[in-house]
């Protein structure tokens, strides 16, 4: 997918059949954009086949379930993805730099959702756009962040599963093992928000 831009309001679409549904594609349903997060083709003994889907609203993050007949036509939204680097925060906006043209792109915190917990200056991110509107962001599977605040680490304390809260440089609080101390760099899973390992 190139970096094609479209005039406001043109809503670029492609009609697809329910047999073309796969995880990750974005559909236009009513007035909203929904990303397929799960689907299942069902062929009952009697009656026609159908497709059961779980869809995430690209703007609000809410998850809905929809069922479609196997011969139904749907509108696939054309999505543009841009490689960016996070630069800094400016009030309620997070400023990213498009890696292809070095243009600075402001993104409001409501469009980022939980991703803002893992944004570190100069960190990479993929902005997801539809019709020039930013509808989401993809982060690497894990990021390395410094611990800003936590109880000092206790050497030799390896009690299995024992955890304590730690505030990261982004302000996000994560549960870490007792032996991890302030100032240490840790690897965090951006999908679950969980501590993975010391970096």
Chain segment 52-87, per-residue pLDDT in tens: 999 988 777 788 999 999 888 999 988 888 999 999
Return left, alpha or beta for 171; rule: phi > 0 is left, psi -120 to 50 is alpha, else beta: left
Whole-number Å distance between alpha carbons of 120 and 145: 7
Whole-number Å distance between alpha carbons of 68 and 71: 8
Whole-number Å distance between alpha carbons of 100 and 83: 7
Could you tell me the pLDDT band of residue 159, with boundaries at 50, 70 and 90? low
Q: What pTM value is reported for the model?
A: 0.68
Does the structure show a pLDDT above 60 at 4?
Answer: no
- Six-digit token pair at 41? 């083709």
Chain segment 20-55, per-residue pLDDT in tens: 888 888 898 887 889 898 999 898 888 888 999 999
- What is the C-alpha R_g of the chain? 21
- Six-digit token pair at 131? 């019709």
Whole-number Å distance between alpha carbons of 151 and 22: 45
Residue at token pair 């501590």: 195
Could you tell me the pLDDT band of residue 158, with boundaries at 50, 70 and 90? low
DSSP for residue 141: S
Q: Which residues, in sequence order, are bridge partners of residue 188?
A: 143, 195
Domains and CATH numbers, the chain: 13-77 (2.30.30.30), 80-138 (2.40.50.140), 142-198 (2.40.50.140)
- Six-digit token pair at 166? 């730690």
Residue at token pair 């917990």: 117
CB contact at 8 A, 87 and 31: no
- Six-digit token pair at 72? 């139904």
Identify the weakest region by mean pLDDT among 70-79, 142-151, 183-192.
70-79
């Amino acid at each position: 997918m190139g970096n094609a831009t479209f005039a406001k309001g043109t809503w670029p679409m492609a009609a697809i059949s329910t047999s073309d549904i796969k995880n990750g594609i974005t559909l236009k349903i009513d007035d909203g954009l929904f990303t397929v997060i799960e689907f299942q083709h069902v062929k009952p003994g009697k009656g026609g086949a159908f497709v059961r889907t779980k869809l995430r609203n690209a703007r609000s993050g809410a998850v809905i379930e929809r069922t479609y007949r196997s011969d139904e036509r749907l509108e696939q939204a054309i999505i543009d993805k841009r490689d960016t680097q996070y630069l800094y925060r400016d009030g309620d906006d997070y400023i990213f730099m498009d890696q292809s043209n070095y243009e600075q792109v402001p993104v409001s915190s409501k469009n980022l959702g939980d991703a803002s917990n893992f944004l570190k200056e100069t960190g990479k991110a993929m902005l997801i756009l539809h019709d020039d509107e930013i509808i989401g962001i993809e982060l690497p599977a894990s990021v390395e962040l410094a611990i800003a605040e936590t109880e000092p680490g206790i050497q030799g304390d390896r009690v299995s599963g024992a955890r304590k809260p730690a505030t990261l440089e982004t302000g996000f609080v994560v549960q870490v093992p007792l032996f991890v101390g302030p100032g240490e760099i840790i690897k965090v899973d951006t999908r679950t928000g969980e501590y993975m390992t010391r970096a």
